[in-house]
Structure 1
Amino acid sequence: MRIASLLPAATEIAAAVGLVDDLVAVTFECDHPAGIRDRVPVVVDTALPAGLAPGEIDAVVRDRSARGLPMYEVDADALGRLRPELILTQDLCRVCALPAGSVADALALLGSDAEVLSIDPHSVDDVLAAIAAVGHRGGAPDTADALVGELRGRLDAVGRAVADRARPRVLVLEWTDPPFLAGHWVPELVRRAGGEPVGGVDAGRSTTVDWADLPDADVVVVAPCGYGLDDARTQAAAVRPLLPDVPVLAMDSASYVVRAGPRLVDGIEALAGALHPDAVAPAPPGRIARL
């Protein structure tokens, strides 16, 4: 099957269930598996200028949202030439990836009858269901089911390891200028890792808050949406003076926190290891770091 993935999480899922060779299109953000953009045409790019600081990005996003302008640009002609049979996209967040409505408009313009599978999880179980859905719709049901079973086993193992331990209050900052409290599956991620999430709403949208109104926490995790560990360290260092009495962790959010793919389980394991180092093995380098 010819598959176009217009969502980094979907690209990761497709590769994890053995469909990487079926991909005919990806986005500029698709970076897992490594080198995928060198092998598969990129048909989605960002509409945002490069090189902006977090506060500048927030200002541009707010301005474009207010004017009804898209955050992403799809090369509809290129997509049409690639003749996908299945298109993987999302409607969860128009800031994070191309929304399904834009894809439908492009397909209508091209006269394409490609099937569109929208991946819109709000919980960890929803993410696992999305993995199964991509595998089943893409023609790899057995591999997908086996992967979901393995991931559930790892989640169960973390749950047993932290079950009877004291739970620190954990504040996850999804952005730092201004501060955003993480929603969607992130509070559940904290809970599964043996913490008690403060701020944010389970299965809800991320929300902004003033620094003075941040909830009390025992640990702060800086996991800026779409950024890796190096950038998370930089943003965490910038906010550390504002939170001098609270331990601060930096986390690779792009891979292990906000991307709704198999590596969310890696993220739960990494956070559990940081919160409960005497019960859960530390994560490999590059995932999470204490300032």
Structure 2
Amino acid sequence: MVNKDRQISICSLVPAATEILCELNLEDNIIGVSDLCSYPDSIRSKTKISKSRVITEGFTSAEVESEMNRILELGEVPYEVDDEWFKNEKPDLIITQDNCYICEIDVNYVESRIQGFGYDPEVLVIDPKSISDIYDAIKSIAYSTNKTFEGNRLVSRLSERVDTILDLFKDYRATRVISIEGVNPLVLGGYWIPEMYRMLGCDYGVINPGSSALRIGIEDIIRFDPEFVFVDLCSSSLERQITEVRWLFEQPGFMDVSAIQRGNFYILEHEYFSNPGPRFVDGIELIANVLKPFSGSFPKHGGLKLINVPPLAHSIEDYVGLV
């Protein structure tokens, strides 16, 4: 834990950690973030000390996958970090993660560079794999920033919101659902994402509890025959997701899945799902409202529902907003 007698400076390399810090009223303490940190909007003005070498917007998933593999096969990392910034600014606390070394800067990379920074910062690693872990991450960040009381209060507030939704789903009929976080290759969201659905009583049978994200084939979806298909492609805007899901509808048998036949195909804002921070509760509320309307209010810009089956233009014209 950093010295409690002075204001600390923080570099957050994890979008979820950045959101947690802001919820703890520590936004002014943040002096550097990664290019993936975008919430709240005011955080966009912070110095970006890292950026991805792989651009997703304007490229297909297959093209992104190819470029990522090229970089990794060269033994390189898929992001760039401004080492000089660390040498000059010397943040007291660096927050990183140990979940994914591809999407975000991980602890191994940070520790390999610290010696060259010329000082010895505190490094906090968060590694959520479940909803309980998300709460623990909040408490860890709160402890490391002398905000223990505020952290406990935030966890209580989030858990109370979850409990309110769960009370409405006590007798909910098990509904087969899938959450797709990647297409071509086809990837299902793992870790805390299936838990978000299962706690509402959903059958997320394609993936085992506690598993990481899983690559599957279209035949696995057809065999499972979900009644709802949710798409929340990692690091992708709603506009990019609309373009990418075209691949799904081109696959033999996908149009026959129950979810498509019943008009239950949704594209959701990925940050409610891919970032294990406070807004995971917004994600649960969003799912709840789709599965059981009027369970609460939709988060702002929560997502889209397909209204043209099959999509006619593969554009926003095929969808209606959930707000």
What's the TM-score once normalised by structure 2's chain length? Answer: 0.84
Structure 2 spans left out of the alignment, 5+ residues: 1-7, 307-323
Aligned amino acid, residue 258 of structure 1: S
Aligned amino acid, residue 171 of structure 1: I
Cα distance between partner residues in 2 of 1:133 and 1:155? 21
Aligned amino acid, residue 235 of structure 1: E
Cα distance between partner residues in 1 of 2:216 and 2:74? 23
Displacement of 1:164: 0.6
In the other structure, the counterpart of 2:291 is 275
In the other structure, the counterpart of 1:256 is 272
SS of residue paired to 1:29: coil
8 Å Cα contact 1:256-1:267 kept in structure 2:
yes
User: Are residue 169 (structure 1) and residue 176 (structure 2) matched?
Assistant: yes
Bigger radius of gyration among the two: 2
Post-superposition CA distance 1:198-231 (Å, at most 9, x none): 3234332212122123232111111101123333
In the other structure, the counterpart of 2:228 is 219
8 Å Cα contact 2:282-2:299 kept in structure 1:
no
SS of residue paired to 2:124: strand
Cα distance between partner residues in 1 of 2:266 and 2:249? 10
8 Å Cα contact 2:13-2:105 kept in structure 1:
yes
State the identity %. Answer: 29
Q: Output aligned runs, 1:171-190, within 5 Å.
A: 171-190=178-197
SS of residue paired to 2:144: helix
Q: Output aligned runs, 1:203-218, within 5 Å.
A: 203-214=210-221, 215-218=224-227
Structure 1 spans left out of the alignment, 5+ residues: none
Cα distance between partner residues in 2 of 1:49 and 1:273? 33
Cα distance between partner residues in 2 of 1:55 and 1:244? 22
Displacement of 1:35: 2.9
In the other structure, the counterpart of 1:236 is 245
User: Are residue 290 (structure 1) and residue 305 (structure 2) matched?
Assistant: yes
In the other structure, the counterpart of 2:159 is 152
Cα distance between partner residues in 1 of 2:184 and 2:249? 13
Cα distance between partner residues in 2 of 1:28 and 1:158? 33
SS of residue paired to 2:304: strand
Q: Output aligned runs, 1:77-116, within 5 Å.
A: 77-116=84-123
Cα distance between partner residues in 1 of 2:196 and 2:140? 21
Aligned amino acid, residue 286 of structure 1: H
Cα distance between partner residues in 2 of 1:108 and 1:203? 35
8 Å Cα contact 1:240-1:248 kept in structure 2:
no
User: Are residue 44 (structure 1) and residue 50 (structure 2) matched?
Assistant: yes
8 Å Cα contact 1:250-1:289 kept in structure 2:
yes
Displacement of 1:288: 2.6
In the other structure, the counterpart of 2:313 is none
SS of residue paired to 2:278: coil
What's the TM-score once normalised by structure 1's chain length? Answer: 0.93
Aligned amino acid, residue 105 of structure 1: S
SS of residue paired to 2:274: coil
Cα distance between partner residues in 2 of 1:144 and 1:201? 31
Where has structure 1 moved over 4 Å in runs of 4 or more?
A: none
SS of residue paired to 1:249: strand
Post-superposition CA distance 1:4-54 (Å, at most 9, x none): 10111111111011111111110111101103131x211111122463211
Post-superposition CA distance 1:40-94 (Å, at most 9, x none): 2111111224632111111222232333220111111112211111110011001
SS of residue paired to 1:257: helix
In the other structure, the counterpart of 1:195 is 202
Aligned-pair Cα RMSD in Å: 1.7
Count matched residues.
Answer: 288
